[in-house]
Structure formats: structure tokens, C-alpha cells
Structure 1
Amino acid sequence: MATEVVEEADWYRIEYDDDIDALIHTWTMFSSGEQFREGANALYEALNEYDVSKEIIDTREVKAHDEEDKQWLQEEWIPKMVEAGMAYSANVHRESVIAEMDMQETVDPLEDLPFENMMTDDMAEAREWLADQ
């Protein structure tokens, strides 16, 4: 796997993976509010810079999302990402029913947006799915 670090902060890392032509955004610790939005918007900037349509969001280090942050993701950030060209998004969550339910609750209201989303607790599965897209 050949990756290039695009940006890094204490709470996230963004890499470009040229094997699957995708960005990988890893949340390395919980964040919320402005800090969360800063990390999410860094991925938006990278999507524009690298002109890719695929992303992996690795939230294995996050237990749950803040309700305000979920609302912001649903109403503003995800539609903005789709408009910028995101067509495929794989979400890697911690191995937990609660984490999976949290992720599902975030993306379910977005089923009418023109992008495909998959959720898994396995990074290899997420990479394989995106490689096929």
C-alpha cells in the first residue's frame, strides 16, 4: 500500500492511497464541535486538491458522534462532499454494534444523495470495496 500523508493533526490524519485512488481519513482520537469540523473540512479540501471520488473514513478510535456534529454532517458536510465529486465512501467503525448503529444513524437520512456508502469494521474490506469501484 503506497500512501502519502496529505495532512496530519493530533486528532486526525489524511492520506492519499494511489493503489485505490482514494483518500483515507483516520480519526486518531475523539473530537467534536469546531475541532471535528476542522478535521472534516480538511478532508473536503484534500478531495478537491487530489480530484478523487473515493474515500475511507476510519472512525475506529471514536466511540460515537455528537448529535450536533451528526446534524452538521447530514445537512452541510456530506452534501458538500458529494457536490465536490465524492461518489464512494467507506466507513470503517470500531467492532461494536453501538458504533455500527451510530454510523448507520448518520448516513441513513442521506440515501437520496448520489453516492454509494458502505460500512465495515475491517479496513481490508473497505479498501477492497473501493478498489472495485
Structure 2
Amino acid sequence: MAAKTIDDGENYTIEWDDEIGAVVFTWDTYVSGAAFREGCEALLDAIERRDAAKVLTDTRGVSAHDAEDQQWMQTDWMPRAHETGLEYSATVHSDSVISEMDVENMLDGMEGGTAEPFLTSDMAEAREWLAAR
């Protein structure tokens, strides 16, 4: 993977991957509340700075999201991400039904026009999907 680190936060890592032309966001640990929102805002900033249309989010280290964080992501963050020009969003979840359902529930409630989503537990599959866009 030809990636360059953009931001290495306490709970996340953000990279630019030339190979797939996408911002790659990795949660290093489970967080909620202010720490979750801080990471999401850093991702939004990276999307804006790179003028990125694609993002790959690696949530394999997180099994579920707090309900308040899901609500904020759906009604506040995603509409703003869409306004930046985000068109495609691949999310890699851990290989568990609970993790998959958590990500699906979050995406089901998105408002304000969402990026075309792709969910998988396979990083190579997510990268291939984004590279084709």
C-alpha cells in the first residue's frame, strides 16, 4: 500500500493512499463521545484538504458505536462530508455479525445525501472496490 500519513492521532491514523486515490482512516481503539467526534472531525478535515471523493474507514478494532455517536454521525457529520464532495465510502468492519450490523445501522440512518457505501470485513476487497471508482 502506497500510503502517506496525514495525521496520527491518539486514537486514529489518517493516511492518503495514492494507489486507490482515497483517504484511509483507521480507528486504533474504541472511543466514544468527544474523542470519537475529534477523530471524525480530523477525517473530515483530511477529506477537505485532499479534495477527496473516496474514503476507506477501517473499524476492525471497534465492535460497536455508542448510540449518541451514531446519531451525530448520521445527522451532523455525514451531511457535511457529502458537502465536501465525498462520493464513495468503503468501511471495513471486524469479521463479526455484531460489527457488521452496527455499521449497517449507522449507514441506514444517514441523512443529507450519503456517499455510495460499501461494507466488508476484507481490506483487500474494500481497496479493490474503491480503486474501481
TM-score (norm 1): 0.97
2:70 corresponding residue in structure 1: 70
Aligned-pair CA distance for 1:31? 0.5
- Counterparts of 1:66 and 1:59, CA distance in 2: 14
What amino acid maps onto 2:104 in structure 1? Q
1:39 corresponding residue in structure 2: 39
What amino acid maps onto 2:91 in structure 1? N
List runs of 5+ in structure 2 lacking aligned partners. Answer: none
Structure 1 runs (4+) greater than 3 angstroms displaced: none
2:18 matches 1:18: yes
What amino acid maps onto 2:107 in structure 1? V
What amino acid maps onto 1:40 in structure 2? C
- Counterparts of 1:38 and 1:69, CA distance in 2: 11
What amino acid maps onto 1:117 in structure 2? P
- Counterparts of 1:13 and 1:106, CA distance in 2: 21
Aligned-pair CA distance for 1:10? 2.1
SS at match of 1:95: coil
**Identity rate, percent:** 47
| Pairing 1:1-133 to 2, within 5 Å after superposition | 1-110=1-110, 113-133=113-133
List runs of 5+ in structure 1 lacking aligned partners. Answer: none
- Counterparts of 1:112 and 1:100, CA distance in 2: 23
Q: Is the 8 A contact 2:82 2:115 kept in 1?
A: yes
Aligned-pair CA distance for 1:117? 0.2
Aligned-pair CA distance for 1:113? 1.7
Q: How many residues align?
A: 133
TM-score (norm 2): 0.97
SS at match of 1:73: helix
Q: Is the 8 A contact 2:6 2:46 kept in 1?
A: yes
- Counterparts of 1:66 and 1:54, CA distance in 2: 25
Aligned-pair CA distance for 1:51? 0.7
In structure 2, relative to structure 1, the CA distance for the partners of 1:4 and 1:113 (3 Å cut) is same
In structure 2, relative to structure 1, the CA distance for the partners of 1:111 and 1:117 (3 Å cut) is farther
Q: What's the Cα RMSD here?
A: 1.1
Can you list the C-alpha shifts for 1:71-98, whole angstroms capped at 9, x where unaligned? Answer: 0000000111011110000010000000
